[in-house]
Amino acid sequence: MMFRVYKSFLPEVAVGYEDPRVQVHISNGVEFMKTVPQGTYDAIMLDAFQNMGPTSKELSDIFLESVARALRPGDVMSTPADSFWHKDFVHCADTIANCRKIFKGSVNYAWTTIPAYERREGPPKFYNTQMHNAAFQVPCFVDKALGNQG
């Protein structure tokens, strides 16, 4: 699992795993989410989707509904998504549209580049408020595919 690699070889990146508020669950996510009481988590970060969507719409709905129940109101779920340059981006757009139905709050698609450089002591060299805000700016064709007003 990637987090074990981070802990072993990139401990400066893996510092968040030492936080007592962080819980890592590696298991069948569908089965695990069935056992989570409503309003348990502030944030859920998933690495669960291949090409931005589980194998069936029914499974996807059941799973995403269980994730929505497990979150406290106003809190967040994050999952990797395909690039909007990918030829099958329409699947990502369909999944986002489905999330908008299930999660009764804000659903956004964001993108970023991951710079490959060593982090040194001091403030980040790459990340700032402007870079964060820019992650939510996408080309017009993506806004249209996602059903945004744009």
Nearest to 106 by CA among 71, 57, 132, 140: 71
Determine which one of 19, 42, 47, 88 is catalytic. 47
Cβ–Cβ < 8 Å for 33, 67 = yes
Tell me, yes or no, if 75 is annotated catalytic. Answer: no
Among all residues, which ones are annotated catalytic? 47
